[in-house]
């Protein structure tokens, strides 16, 4: 049996329940993993609220780290006793142990703790595809990155610095801006006190940025388009403020032949070999010291509702983990 967080209806954090569930044995292509820590992400809130509807009842959580307890037939990249971490499309990571497909589970190198592994997989692999699999980036390019002091943002700030990219961040307080700057942002704009699209133009001598990476969604989409230079790329990869509303595609031509994409991590890691290649690059960034995983908040599994409230209130910095 394993304590597991589930929802039986969509709603606020109050719908999160902890139940005991049978774990079972892995079938071919599966593993059983005993978790040591679980990561939290905005997608968990989207699934809980119903923005991303799920068949109910359903377990929540997309990333975790722990130790492999059993391996099904056909699994060759993992062995019993291996330390491992994952981000996986099949939710259910908020649990003490689970049986799951092995395809996206990666062996965790020595030198990276279980808490770091749980905190970094979904967010770090997201940064990897934003910087290396979405649009060509060259040293000297300028990126506007929203929520630069969040879990994805702090990794992105460091990743950009390690590759000679100029990252302009936005955040909701002076303290969060300072944190982004500390982690490698070239500049950070407090959107609570500044007209951030105007400030972006000032910081780029009126030219705009090459790429916007926007996980906020509805409230920032228009300003993000206004911050791009002609032929720039808008990467909308999240909906923290709500889903982006429908808009006239002709606006992209009017603003300088802009490009827009809406990627998801799970499309990128669907191929297990690609997933492990992406993870190897992420692990390399962390082991080299180019990227440090900052865990800003820890909640015991029993306080998962409080963790969701903190995440949705944007009162967190860096990564948040559930401890077991």
Identify the pLDDT of residue 211: 98
Q: Average of pLDDT values for 260-281?
A: 97
322 band by pLDDT with thresholds 50, 70 and 90:
very high
* Spatial distance between the Cα atoms of 28 and 101, rounded to a whole number of angstroms: 9
Per-residue 3-state assignment (H helix, E strand, C coil) for 279-308: HHHHHHHHHHCCCCCCEEEEEEHHHHHHHH
Does pLDDT of 318 surpass 90? no
Does pLDDT of 314 surpass 90? no
CB 172 within 8 Å of CB 190: yes
Domain 2-122+266-323 in this protein, CATH class:
alpha beta
Q: Average of pLDDT values for 139-144?
A: 98
What is the pLDDT of the chain when averaged over all its residues? 96
Does pLDDT of 99 surpass 90? yes
232 band by pLDDT with thresholds 50, 70 and 90:
very high
Q: Average of pLDDT values for 123-152?
A: 96
Domain with CATH 3.90.180.10 in the chain: 2-122+266-323
Cis peptide before 28 (omega within 30 of 0): no
155 band by pLDDT with thresholds 50, 70 and 90:
very high
Q: At what angle do helices 114-132 and 151-162 cross, to 10 degrees?
A: 60
Identify the pLDDT of residue 34: 98
CB 74 within 8 Å of CB 63: no
Identify the pLDDT of residue 181: 98
CB 82 within 8 Å of CB 107: yes
Tens of pLDDT, residue by residue over 16-32, are: 999 999 999 999 999 99
241 band by pLDDT with thresholds 50, 70 and 90:
confident
What are the Cα distances from residue 89, in Å, to 51, 92, 114, 182, 265? 16, 9, 20, 32, 9
CB 172 within 8 Å of CB 193: no
Does pLDDT of 52 surpass 90? no
255 band by pLDDT with thresholds 50, 70 and 90:
very high
Does pLDDT of 240 surpass 90? no
Tens of pLDDT, residue by residue over 54-86, are: 999 999 999 999 999 999 999 999 999 999 999
Q: What ranges make up the beta strands (E) of the chain?
A: 2-7, 17-21, 30-39, 58-59, 63-71, 83-87, 97-101, 105-107, 142-145, 166-171, 187-190, 209-214, 228-236, 259-261, 295-300, 319-323
**3-state secondary structure at position 323:** strand
**CATH code, residues 135-262:** 3.40.50.720
106 band by pLDDT with thresholds 50, 70 and 90:
very high
Rg of the chain on CA atoms, in Å: 20
**Hey, what are 33's tokens?**
């993993």
Identify the pLDDT of residue 242: 84
Residue 164: Cβ-neighbour burial (10 angstroms; 0-12, 13-18, 19+): exposed
CB 105 within 8 Å of CB 78: yes
**3-state secondary structure at position 83:** strand
Q: Average of pLDDT values for 139-167?
A: 96
Domain with CATH 3.40.50.720 in the chain: 135-262
């Amino acid at each position: 049996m394993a304590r597991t967080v589930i929802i039986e209806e969509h709603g606020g954090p109050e719908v999160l329940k902890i139940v005991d569930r049978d774990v079972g044995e892995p079938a071919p292509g599966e593993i059983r993993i005993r978790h040591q820590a679980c990561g939290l992400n905005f997608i968990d809130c989207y699934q809980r609220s119903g923005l991303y509807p799920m068949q109910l009842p359903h377990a929540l959580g997309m990333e975790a780290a722990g130790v492999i307890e059993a391996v099904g037939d056909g699994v060759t990249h993992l062995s019993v006793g291996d330390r491992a971490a994952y981000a996986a499309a099949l939710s259910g990571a908020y649990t003490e142990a689970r049986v799951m497909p092995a395809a996206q589970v990666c062996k965790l190198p020595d030198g990276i703790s279980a808490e770091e592994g749980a905190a970094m997989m979904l967010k770090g692999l997201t940064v990897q595809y934003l910087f290396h699999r979405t649009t060509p980036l060259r040293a000297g390019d300028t990126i506007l990155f929203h929520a630069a002091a969040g879990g994805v943002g702090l990794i992105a700030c460091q990743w950009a610095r390690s590759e000679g990219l100029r990252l302009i961040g936005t955040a909701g307080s002076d303290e969060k801006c300072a944190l982004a700057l500390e982690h490698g942002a070239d500049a950070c704009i407090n959107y609570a006190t500044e007209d951030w699209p105007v400030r972006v133009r000032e910081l780029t001598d009126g030219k705009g940025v090459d790429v916007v990476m926007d996980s906020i969604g509805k409230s920032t989409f228009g300003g993000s388009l206004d911050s791009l230079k002609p032929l720039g790329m808008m990467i909308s990869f999240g909906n923290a403020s709500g889903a982006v509303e429908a808009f006239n595609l002709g606006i992209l031509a009017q603003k300088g032949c802009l490009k827009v994409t809406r990627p998801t991590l799970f499309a990128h890691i669907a191929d297990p070999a690609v997933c492990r290649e992406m993870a190897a690059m992420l692990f390399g960034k962390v082991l080299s010291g180019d990227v440090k995983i900052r865990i800003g908040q820890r909640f015991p599994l029993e306080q998962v509702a409080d963790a969701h409230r903190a995440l949705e209130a944007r009162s967190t910095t860096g990564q948040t983990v559930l401890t077991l």
